[in-house]
Every structure is written in C-alpha cells, then in structure tokens.
Amino acid sequence: MEKDFDKWNTEKKIVDAKAVNTELFFYAREIWWCSAGLNIGVEANGKHDNFERPMLIVKKFNADMVWALPLTTQGQNNKYYYKLVHEDIKSWVVLSQIKTISTKRFLRKVGSISESDFREVILRLQNFLKIENPLTGAFSEAEATNT
C-alpha cells in the first residue's frame, strides 16, 4: 500500500502548531489515542485522518513529553509484545517500539490499564534494557575500559 506522506506532513504541521495544554492531566498507565503519524518501514503507523494510534504512557517527564508504547490489535506471541485486555478489547503493547513523544500528539484518553499489567510491561522493558555488554562485537571489555 502506498503511504501518503504528503497528507501526514500537512497533519503534522497542525499537530506541531498546537499549544501545549497545561490543563491536560495524564499519568503513566493511561492509554491515549495519539497522532502517531506515518512512519518508515516496520514502525507503527497511525491510521485514519489523524494518523492516530492508541499508546500506553510509560513515563511522564513533564507536561510536554512522555515515553509511550504503541498498541496494536495484530499481536504476536513473542517477547516483543504484551497482551492486554482493556474494557473487553484485546490488544498488544508493542514493547520494542518505545517512543519519546510530545503531548501535543494526545487526542483523547481511552482509560488506564491495571497496576499488575503495567508492572509486567515495565519489567519486560527493564529486561530489554539489561545489556550485559553493550559493546559486544565492537570491543572487548578490556578495550572498552582503555579508551
């Protein structure tokens, strides 16, 4: 399917021009529909006129910026996806696609996931970040400490 990057570029300009809503209240564990955009390759795209996608807020940094994970209804049974059931809707959190996003992308709140599901999402993210030797293949551990 051909991607309409020109249409997304027009929408992106509108999203970027929005003022940050300082009265917008949001927290980690919440799911929001966001203007995710039209992305490259296997990156999660938004759909419809707003190029929107539901996203789980993982960490709030301030009123302008969060880490978020996209959700999909096309999940897979592997370590990169975590299955959620929220208000009788089955979806998967795409753990491998954590993004830093502006809160200008927020469209509307869906709700919150359970504390136990959120705890599991965070534990799985932490496991991804546990890199025993981040320089594997580039340098030996001794070479890395001598630079």
Q: Are 117 and 98 in contact (CB under 8 A)?
A: no
Range of the domain at 13: 5-145
- Give pTM, 2 decimals: 0.81
Q: Are 121 and 95 in contact (CB under 8 A)?
A: yes
Highest mean pLDDT among 41-45, 49-53, 87-91, 92-96: 92-96
Report the CATH number that the domain containing residue 84 is assigned in CATH: 2.30.30.110
* Structure confidence by residue, pLDDT tens digits, 14-48: 777 887 777 789 999 999 999 987 777 776 877 87
CA 97, 103, 109, 111 torsion: positive or negative?
positive
When divided into structural domains, the chain yields a total of 1
73: Cβ–Cβ under 8 A, 6 or more apart, which residues? 90, 91, 92
Mean pLDDT of the chain: 84
